[in-house]
Amino acid sequence: MNKAPYTRLICKDACSFYKPGKKELRCGGYIFLSRHFTLKELKTMPAAKPLGAVLVAGYAYLKHEEIERLLCGACDFRVDGCDFAETCSGPPCGGYRIAHRLRSSLADTA
C-alpha cells in the first residue's frame, strides 16, 4: 500500500503535530484508519456537527472511550505523553480528529 496519500490526508491535512520527513513514527489513529478505511472512504466522510470540549480549528472534540481504546492504546506518541488524552490541554492528533468525525457522523445517521 502506498502510504503517501494516507500521510497527506491523516497527518499533513489534519494533524497540528505533523512534521514533514518524520517517517519512523505514526500515531495510533493513522495506524487504525489506514488499516480499516480506504482513502475514498476517508475523503468522502460526511462533516460532523461540533460536540463540545477542546476546540481546534472551529471543531469541538470530546474524549471518547471507544476511540481511545482503538487508537490511543496503539499510539507510539503516548510514551512521551499526550496532552489531549491526559488532560485535554492540547489538540488531538489528526487520526483522532478524523476518527471522532467519523464516529460523530455515524451517530448522526443512526
Phi-psi region of 92 (alpha: psi -120 to 50; beta: other; left: phi over 0): beta
pLDDT of amino acid 49: 38
pLDDT of amino acid 59: 52
Cα–Cα distance between 9 and 29 in angstroms, integer? 12
Q: Which three cell numbers stand for residue 19?
A: 512534521
pLDDT by residue, tens only, the chain of 110 residues:
558 888 888 888 888 888 887 766 678 888 888 998 888 888 877 543 333 344 455 455 667 788 888 888 878 887 777 878 777 777 888 888 888 888 777 666 65
Instruction: Specify the 3-state DSSP secondary structure of 83.
Output: helix
* Domain spans, the chain: 4-109
